[in-house]
Amino acid sequence: MTNHPFDAALRLEPLAHTPGSFSGASSLDYWNMIGPFGGMTAASAMQAVVQHPDRLGEPIALTVNYAAALGAGPFTLQATPVRTNRSTQHWTLLLTQPDAQGADAVLMTATAVTAVRRPTWSANDMPMPATPAPADVAAHKFAPGLEWLNRYEMRLIDGKVPQVWDGREQGSVSRLWVRDAPPRPLDFPALAAMADVFFPRVWLRRATHVPAGTVSITTYFHADSAQLAQSSGYLLGQAKAQAFCNGFFDQSAQLWNEAGHLLASSHQIVYYKA
């Protein structure tokens, strides 16, 4: 842990009364429109698994379901290893905050799988697309307003948020270089967060600024923590939609390190109004 805002936002204090129960707080440093950036919530779930004393192995899968926007202030995060096998471990997670009446309200559910990896034949069948190097792409200056955008350095290659909302249909692919601002060593919580930095594809696809929000995101990890630490620096992120149908669409994303190793593939289903 460092003084980096991401580490401050990730901080979870074990609660004595229940094993795997942690107290955290919504981070204003990562505030989005009506709650913290969803990637930060996914990162908190990942962190609860990573710092759990009974953890076996390293993360290979994380699914986070956003049940409602977190409010400011403290939350409770419960991480439970419900099944531990010889080399894999299955986790369920629940994030709650007191509602207006003081009752615990469920704001997030999640599942995770950790596993002991062993060296095997490996291959990357989704090679990194050819793009300019990070130094050759300008760091984007976002309009003020969404605090979490200040926590990332994003160098947008293509598929930017439309400058004009003219309803013109186009493809939904975005590519960008991304890293924490200021830089920070890469780990699983950071990767879980970066898998969700892509704005809703429907904005790009239709050039229409409709309300939209992630409902559920699943991220698969294709590296161990040593490989992540070696991958600190920029990640190339790519996102693309697949199907839009009556209020929900799915988008898939990939994150490669600069050497072209696919560190994570991620998929989400997103609510949209249209």
DSSP 3-state assignment of 156?
strand
| Contact letters for a second copy, residues 11-50 (x by CB under 8 A) | ----------------------------------------
CB 195 within 8 A of CB 217: yes
| Contact letters for a second copy, residues 104-123 (x by CB under 8 A) | -xxx-xxx-x-x-xxxxxxx
Residue 269 in contact with a second copy, rule: CB under 8 A: yes
Residues 6+ apart with CB under 8 A from 242: 249, 250, 251, 252
Q: What is the dihedral of CA 186, 27, 103, 42, to 10 degrees?
A: -20
Residue of the chain from 34, 72, 85, 142 that contacts a second copy (CB under 8 A): 85
Residue 100 in contact with a second copy, rule: CB under 8 A: no
Stretch that binds a second copy, among 63-71, 130-138, 154-162, 177-185 (CB under 8 A): 63-71
- Cis peptide bond N-terminal to 182, omega within 30: yes
Residue of the chain from 34, 124, 133, 160 that contacts a second copy (CB under 8 A): 124
Residue 209 in contact with a second copy, rule: CB under 8 A: no
DSSP 3-state assignment of 259?
coil
Q: Whole-angstrom Cα distance, residue 202 to residue 139?
A: 24
Burial class (CB in 10 A: 0-12, 13-18, 19+), 124: exposed
Stretch that binds a second copy, among 6-14, 70-78, 128-136, 213-221 (CB under 8 A): 213-221
- The CA-atom distances, in angstroms, between 85 and each of 22, 88, 114 are 24, 5, 10
Residue 83 in contact with a second copy, rule: CB under 8 A: yes
- Closest to a second copy by CB, 153 or 224: 224
Q: Whole-angstrom Cα distance, residue 209 to residue 263?
A: 31
Q: Rule CB under 8 A: which residues touch a second copy?
A: 60-61, 63, 65, 67-68, 82-83, 85, 88, 90, 92, 94, 105-107, 109-111, 113, 115, 117-126, 171-172, 205-206, 215-216, 218, 220, 222-224, 240-248, 250, 252, 254, 262, 265, 267, 269, 271-274
